Homo-oligomer: A and B are copies of this chain.
């Protein structure tokens, strides 16, 4: 029993294929009576509608949106920030009957999907520079989130200002301050940055965070040596542990450690507590993102709350609307118990 095609149906009903197609897609092209007659007959004989694969080819539209996640999907999916973002995206896509294709940002190329997806939402800078280039040159809509791509609409919070504020709240003049940063330089493992060249400094949001920290430090008259800035290649606990150990063992130990994500900060906090260090008495810690777990820990984390769900929803909305203006979303300072 082969699958029915438009042609089969047309033959059976004694009308042209165009009419059947119109019955499904363009109600204004035929009389209402004929339309319901056709639709009923289709249901009767078990034709569920035009074949989607053929539609994709012919219409050049698939209703599939690719969500390009920085790095491999491996890390991204379990990252609470990324996964709530996905949640937001999926919600809006679903409302609009679109489908969600997860795409790894560490892929070589988008050639294997660009022909059939309707657009791209890009979450975080792809590991692979070639991918960014391809995304920018290809003709379909792109929305970027937490990073920037020339000429494409972006969704961000004001990372510089937010980081400035949280840092300012945490530090006092004379403090020794360390920073646990994220993707500041191109390195596959956790390390101090020393004088390594900064990565994509122009368009990277973590560099904006660094800018914000530095502004607050400067105002307080504090200097940070590059070897007190750590770099993590991805936002995952496994990388954070190593940095946490190193920074906590340095002597003299910092008074304040500014972390570019809650994941990092929480790992650090746990590490510190297990070493018997009093937080915030002996050590103050700030995070970034405002994930749920950060509010559940004792002491709970001082951080910058941003709504990942909202980001996701906004990015999907933006992509579907075709608007080209970038969006800056609000954030909220949460001065928890770690400063």
A residues apposed to B, CB below 8 Å: 48-49, 51-54, 56-57, 60, 62-64, 72-74, 77-78, 80, 83-84, 86-87, 90-91, 94, 97, 99-104, 111-116, 270, 293, 296
CB pair A103 B112 closer than 8 Å: no
Determine how close the nearest CB of chain B comes to the CB of A269; give it in whole angstroms: 11
Oligomeric state, in number of copies?
Answer: 2
Set of chain B residues within 8 Å of A116, measured between Cβ atoms: 52-53, 56, 62
Set of chain B residues within 8 Å of A63, measured between Cβ atoms: 112
Set of chain B residues within 8 Å of A77, measured between Cβ atoms: 77, 83-84, 86-87, 90
Determine how close the nearest CB of chain B comes to the CB of A212; give it in whole angstroms: 28
Determine how close the nearest CB of chain B comes to the CB of A169; give it in whole angstroms: 27
**Main SS at interface, chain A:** helix
CB pair A101 B100 closer than 8 Å: yes
Given A52-B112, A54-B57, A57-B54, decide whether A87 and B101 contact each other with a Cβ distance below 8 A.
no
Q: Which of A49, A91, A116 has the most CB of B within 10 A?
A: A116
Q: Which of A63, A77, A104, A296 has the most CB of B within 10 A?
A: A77
Distance, CA A52 to CA B114, complexed state (A): 8
Set of chain B residues within 8 Å of A112, measured between Cβ atoms: 52, 63, 97, 99
CB pair A73 B91 closer than 8 Å: yes
Distance, CA A74 to CA B94, complexed state (A): 10
Set of chain B residues within 8 Å of A115, measured between Cβ atoms: 51-54
Q: Could you write out 14 A-B pairs with CB less than 8 Å apart?
A: A52-B115, A52-B116, A53-B56, A53-B57, A53-B62, A53-B116, A63-B112, A73-B87, A73-B90, A86-B102, A99-B102, A99-B103, A100-B101, A101-B101
Set of chain B residues within 8 Å of A78, measured between Cβ atoms: 80, 83-84, 87
Distance, CA A72 to CA B112, complexed state (A): 28
Which residue in chain B gives the minimum CB-CB distance to A80? B78
Determine how close the nearest CB of chain B comes to the CB of A84; give it in whole angstroms: 6
Given A52-B116, A56-B116, A102-B100, decide whether A94 and B72 contact each other with a Cβ distance below 8 A.
yes
Distance, CA A91 to CA B73, complexed state (A): 7
**The residue from B57, B87, B101, B293 contacting A99, defined by CB atoms under 8 A apart:** B101
CB pair A74 B90 closer than 8 Å: yes
* Top 8 A-B pairs, shortest CB-CB distance: A52-B115, A73-B90, A53-B116, A100-B102, A53-B57, A57-B57, A77-B83, A77-B87
Set of chain B residues within 8 Å of A74, measured between Cβ atoms: 87, 90-91
Distance, CA A63 to CA B100, complexed state (A): 15
Given A74-B87, A87-B77, decide whether A113 and B52 contact each other with a Cβ distance below 8 A.
yes
Set of chain B residues within 8 Å of A99, measured between Cβ atoms: 101-103, 112-113
Set of chain B residues within 8 Å of A57, measured between Cβ atoms: 53-54, 56-57
Determine how close the nearest CB of chain B comes to the CB of A316; give it in whole angstroms: 12
Which residue in chain B gives the minimum CB-CB distance to A298? B298
CB pair B101 A94 closer than 8 Å: no
Distance, CA A270 to CA B293, complexed state (A): 13
Distance, CA A48 to CA B138, complexed state (A): 12
CB pair B102 A49 closer than 8 Å: no
